[in-house]
Every structure is written in C-alpha cells, then in structure tokens.
Amino acid sequence: MYSYDEPVYLISVVAKILEIHPQTLRQYEKEGLIEPGRTDGKMRLYSQRDIDKIKTILRLTRDMGVNLAGVDIILRLKEKLDELDTINEELRSNLQKKSHTTSSNVSIKQSSYELILFKK
C-alpha cells in the first residue's frame, strides 16, 4: 500500500474522483494552493494528502463562498497553527520531563483549532 504522502494518482484520476475538471487542478497549482509531484516526464502525480487538501479547497470555495485568495490565507494559517501546535507539544513534553510531573498536571492538547466544514 502507498503512504499518505506518496504521489500516485494521475490528474485525470483525481479529476474523476473529485468530479472536477482537470483544468481546475491546474489552476489550483498555478495559484500555489497545491503542489503535486511530477514524474520524470513532467506528469502531475497527486498523493492522498493532496486529494484531501483539494477537498478542503472545494468545500471552502463551493460551500462557503471563499475565493482562492481567501483559501490561500486560510491554508497558510492552518499550516502555521500546525507548526505552533508541534512546537507547543514539544515544549510541554520538555516541561513534563524537567519537572517530573504527571500528565494530570500538564494536559497536552492535540490541536489548538478544529477546521469543520459543513456541506449544505
């Protein structure tokens, strides 16, 4: 089986799965929203992570009316929050080790946010 980040899906397959035109995927790449892998022959290959990100983009644009510039800002903020959550988790872990406290004194939260998108 392939890993979550391994690019294995051709653009035509992803377009069919998501029921969108391949040109839409090319536009998302042009806007810098996604970065599919490439074969030696320069064919685009998408990972499952890419597909999930495209699903998020589609929910934001179709269901919530966010334009592509807004989607870019939202995705960048999400990435930054993920980075900060990782740093926060490392700092809490170090604090636990140094003070020899139990996990009941310091609670580690998985994420500082939760992105929930509802379909109409």
Express each pLDDT in 42-76 by its tens digit.
Answer: 999 999 999 999 999 999 999 999 999 999 999 99
E strands present in the chain: 9-10, 37-38, 44-46
Distance CA 64, CA 71 (A): 10
Distance CA 59, CA 38 (A): 26
Percent of all residues in the chain with a pLDDT value above 90, rounded to a whole number: 72
Q: Sign (positive/negative) of CA torsion 52, 54, 55, 57?
A: positive
pTM: 0.76
Helical packing angle, 48-58 and 11-18, nearest 10°: 40
